Chain A
Amino acid sequence: MERSLAYENDLSNLEATELRLGLPGTDESEKQSSRNNKRSSAEMDNSCEKDEQECAPAPKAQVVGWPPVRSYRKNVLHQKNESELSGMFVKVSMDGAPYLRKIDLKVYKNYQDLLKVLENMFKCSIGVYSEREGYNGSEFAPTYEDKDGDWMLVGDVPWDMFITSCKRLRIMKGSEAKGLGCL
């Protein structure tokens, strides 16, 4: 245990004096620094697997093949972790806009954050959600296509359920969205 603490102290000292292009105060996690050793992406062939265990998130130096966990098992558990780290990009269209945008839903914590970003991105006003009225009164209403292919109003379900079921977003003109707001 002491070994890893000393290692972490060294790392934090290095960071303070490091020259880099990021803004001061931006956080660069240890996960990223060890992942730089890995050859780029998941498109690489299977020989990358050996690198994978050398790039595990813990700051400690990795011993090959220890602990004795089968690659198969490691990959399966890793997949879960990797999906937590990779983005959840969905297309966003707005009625009347010439092209679509893409956003990463994982980056936002709640509906407030998401709506604010959408408003900024498309220079529109979406307004406030109400369970009864939807976005009635707003110029635009955000909708999304869920896993079943249905178009739903953004805001009805809990945030966690929303980000797992949302396949794409569409910002509709408020006049068209009137039908959705009624219960």
Chain B
Amino acid sequence: MAQSFPEDVLEHVFSFLNYDKDRNAVSLVCKSWYEIERLCRRRIFIGNCYAVSSEIVIRRFPDVRAVELKGKPHFADFNLVPEGWGGYVYPWIVSLARAYPWLEEIKLKRMVVTDESLELISKSFKNYKVLVLLSCEGFTTDGLASIAANCRNLRELDLGESEVEDLSGHWLSHFPDNCTSLVSLNISCLGSEVSFCALERLVARCPNLKTLRLNRAVPLEKLPNLLCRAPQLVELGTGAYSAEIQSDIFSNLAEAFLGCKQLKGLSGFWDVVPAYLPAMYSVCSRITSLNLSYATAQNPDLVHFVSQCSNLQRLWVLDYIEDTGLEALAASCKDLHELRVFPSDPFDAEANVSLTEQGLVAVSEGCPKLQSVLYFCRQMSNAALVAIARNRPNMIRFRLCIIEPRAPDYLTLEPLDTGFGAIVENCKELRRLSMSGLLTDRVFEYIGTHAKKLEMLSIAFAGDSDSGLHHVLSGCESLRKLEIRDCPFGDKALLANATKLETMRSLWMSSCSVSFGACKLLGQKMPRLNVEVINERGLPDSRPESCPVEKLYVYRTIAGPRVDMPGFVWTMDEHVSSRLSRVTERRGD
């Protein structure tokens, strides 16, 4: 049938397909297309490292150059996944090292990475180029030293917001003198000081360096030294942005920034001294991405600086910006796509700043391209949410966190069902939603009815009964990830929608009302799901079937139950009854 095109022509055509979705579609057309495609796929994305085994991946795709893996579920970011749960990358690295000597890129998110893994990476691949570790943990600066020393052609080293055991800053000096290939370096998460001389020389000899994110320990006075040696930088993360007020420091800084004509993104700004913000005025009009979420500057300094950036597309900022600052933002930054406002004092019930729903409404009115929002605040109203929904039907990501759990509409004291309902009804392209505040089952009815493109939903302290969960699982056709905490959802909705779970990447439920018995049933019914129960308090002594589980993580997989679970995690499947009884015996000591 498809004999008309020779293989290499098809292969050439396929080489223009970069998105996984497209390649997956192509491989379903017919057997020969499947074969051709699998031999020429170079990039693999695995959204859940336990959904597939490395053997299966390697068998299907023999010549891969870039691998991206994600480990722990998203709620691990908020300490809801206990230490030792899993997400170990080492076994993957061992397999990849054996199968793909020409592997160039590894990107990991929320995985446990050891120094051993890093050393293996640094020694196994002949042309290794890119290492990105986002929100990872388990390694020390010794592991980084191996990477620096052994990867001759390293282009990108991005440590994201990983937790690194910082033994010393000496690792950076392991980059050999003939390493000139760096394009991107992000060490912002590291605590200790790296040798500034070594850093300066490294920056000076890498002419293609486009992204440089320094750590807090790099002093502001030294920043001009780096900028002068890298005027081609596109993205800069400063170190601590503070120094004694001295005119020569200021003028050096201003002059150095003047030379950076390509600069588009800024971040860093720890311990910011507002008097030094104007040193960056020469670059402000070109800035499209600004991360001030560690900058404890207040208004008017803060808003004055932000308003200079008329071409801003992405702004991350602390709530020190206040409503007045956001109103100014709405007036001056008409190209804004994404806004994230983080809380400066998340654990204080009282507001320390004047940031309310008004700020967000103002931005939704003034910024026609706004499509991505993450907003922490202490009060919200249905009226505001309805206004936002009507202003911005182009919204794609909407994440709202009202700090007090179950907080009602502060004007009417009603639940916020209507408000969030308006969001899902008006924003037809909505892909991600996080809700908070007082919410009943009704909001889930709206979501199930309208949120047809929704891929990820986060729910906390919401709903009245199982019908809430049922609306979501039965109505949201595009749902891939669902994470729920502290909601009265139980067995009924879960079991009634068991098959839905195979169409999703994962479901997380913690502090809900799902029983052991239901988990067992689900695991037995659905062999292609791993139904993992996390119970740190061990197994219940009496009436285990009806006891609620602490945490439940369900994900589809073709790799079967995993073998690296700690003692407080059980996979509920056909074999679980015997395993459970063995464990309760062991627990008797």
Contact = CB atoms under 8 A, between A and B. Distances in A.
Nearest to A50: B79
A69 B342 contact: yes
Nearest to A147: B244
B83 A70 contact: no
Nearest to B160: A72
A174 B444 CA distance: 79
Contacts of B349: 1, 4, 58, 60
B189 A72 contact: yes
B75 interface: yes
Nearest to B458: A68
A46 B112 CA distance: 14
Q: Taking each of A1, A50, A57, A71, which has the highest tally of chain B beta carbons within 10 Å of its own beta carbon?
A: A71
Interface in B248-272: 270-271
A67 B79 contact: no
A69 B346 contact: yes
A69 B434 CA distance: 13
Interface in B65-121: 75, 77-80, 83
B294 interface: yes
A73 B160 CA distance: 12
Contacts of B78: 64-66, 68-71
B348 interface: yes
Interface string A154-183: 000000010011000000000000000000
Given A46-B163, A72-B161, A80-B271, A65 B79 contact: yes
A56 B347 contact: yes
A77 interface: yes
Contacts of A57: 347-348
Nearest to B348: A58
Contacts of B83: 47
A71 B83 CA distance: 13
A62 interface: yes
A74 interface: yes
Contacts of A76: 270, 294
A29 to B, nearest CB: 14
B270 to A, nearest CB: 7
A161 B244 contact: yes
Contacts of A125: none
A68 B244 CA distance: 35
A53 B80 CA distance: 12
A50 B78 CA distance: 10
B413 to A, nearest CB: 13
B403 interface: yes
A104 interface: no
A63 interface: yes
Nearest to A5: B349
A133 interface: no
A161 B163 CA distance: 33
A54 to B, nearest CB: 10
A15 interface: no
Contacts of B350: 1
B126 interface: no
B77 A66 contact: no
Contact of A77 (B244, B344, B401): B344
Nearest to B271: A80
Nearest to B293: A73
Contact of A71 (B79, B343, B403, B486): B79
A82 interface: no
B161 A70 contact: yes
Q: Taking each of B349, B376, B403, which has the highest tally of chain A beta carbons within 10 Å of its own beta carbon?
A: B349
B485 interface: yes
A166 B513 CA distance: 58
A138 to B, nearest CB: 28
Given A72-B135, A77-B344, A67 B270 contact: no
A68 B347 contact: no
A65 B74 CA distance: 12
A95 interface: no
Contacts of B62: none
B405 A66 contact: yes
Contacts of A58: 347-349
A49 interface: yes
Given A58-B349, A164-B244, A49 B343 contact: no
Contacts of A1: 349-350
Contacts of A70: 77-78, 135, 161
B401 A67 contact: yes
Nearest to A55: B347
17 contacts: A53-B347, A57-B348, A60-B349, A64-B78, A67-B376, A67-B403, A68-B78, A70-B135, A70-B161, A71-B163, A72-B189, A73-B293, A74-B346, A76-B270, A76-B294, A77-B344, A147-B244
Interface of B: 75, 77-80, 83, 135, 161, 163, 189, 244, 270-271, 293-294, 296, 342-344, 346-350, 376, 401, 403, 405, 434, 460, 485-486
Given A67-B376, A80-B296, 9 more contacts: A1-B349, A1-B350, A60-B349, A65-B80, A66-B460, A69-B342, A72-B189, A76-B270, A164-B244
Q: Give me the 4 closest cross-chain CB pairs, A-B, nearest first.
A: A65-B78, A56-B347, A72-B161, A58-B347
